[in-house]
Amino acid sequence: MSESKPENTTAVAQLVEQRFPKPQVAGSSPSRRDSAGNGGDEPPTSRDFGGGAGGRRWFGIYKFGQGYWVRIGTALAIGIFAMLAAAWAANELEAYQPPAPTWSLPLSEMRGVPQAGTAVVLQALEDNKPVQIGTATAEAFEGAGADSGALVVKGITITDANRTARDVQRIEAGPAGTPTLVALVSRPMPIPLFPRGYVQAGVAGLLLLAGLIVGWRLVASKPGSVDFLIATDGEMKKVNWSTRKVIIDTTSVVIFATFFIAFLIFVFDFGLRLLVQVTKLM
């Protein structure tokens, strides 16, 4: 007589398999069901960036709390370099001259009073003789006495390629041959559109900002560089730092050996010198 199998064997096996799922193999990720109940892996969240708990980000910092001192030291080094670069740039920009559409001409021995909008002839003195080097237009005048003051001119045009506005030593204004204004000029000064310090501060600030961005990228957010710093911190912890007693003992040995070797060299040198002197006498 043939033995018949129960019909519910398959159903029981399926129930057992559901109650006791197969164990996960080490290194594999467990399967999860999505919100619809379907099988499949659940998409990673922003906290799992970098893989596992060690790769989580806190406040945008990759692997927060790991490699602390090495990362701090690297950030300080980058910050010092950025500050040095900013200071160097600000110092180099001392030679920068902002655009100066107007100039102030301090006048002395003035004959006549300049009027706004009057054409001004710019002159230099060669052997005490006036030589025209350019032209300008009077914009404003501020008197400082009966024959002195400061004239602001605009639209300066220098016709002599070997001269600049700083070479102006004398001016004339009015018709040629019968000027209505004649005066000597001392130390013409440009009136820039903006202070040079704005440029220096702007460039220095940009360099500091660039250093901040680079430092944050290398120390806090870039996985490759952060992993390297963390590995460096791990290796540094394996270093066997000498105790104070060991350092004192080894330093003492080095100092003693240095003086001892110097003494031996002195003795051999002195002996050889005596030997040479005795040999010459013989």
Count of other CB atoms within 10 angstroms of residue 121: 20
pLDDT tens for 92-131 read 999 998 999 999 999 988 888 888 888 899 999 998 888 9
User: Cα–Cα–Cα angle for 241, 244, 250, nearest 5°?
Assistant: 90
The C-alpha atoms of residue 204 and residue 193 are separated, in whole angstroms, by: 20
What is the value of pTM for the model shown?
Answer: 0.58
Residue 84 or residue 28, greater confidence: 84
User: 72, 215 in Cβ contact below 8 A?
Assistant: no
| Tokens at 225, concatenated | 């560089």
Residue located via tokens 């001004």: 120
> Among candidates 182, 128, 136, 172, which has minimal Cα distance to 155?
136
CA distances 34 to 198, 237, 281, Å, are: 58, 43, 107
Domains and CATH numbers, the chain: 54-99+194-241 (no CATH), 102-191 (2.40.30)
> Among candidates 139, 137, 151, 153, which has minimal Cα distance to 100?
153
pLDDT tens for 29-44 read 444 444 344 444 444 3
The C-alpha atoms of residue 16 and residue 94 are separated, in whole angstroms, by: 84
User: 181, 122 in Cβ contact below 8 A?
Assistant: no
The C-alpha atoms of residue 218 and residue 230 are separated, in whole angstroms, by: 12
pLDDT tens for 201-234 read 999 999 999 999 999 999 999 999 999 999 999 9
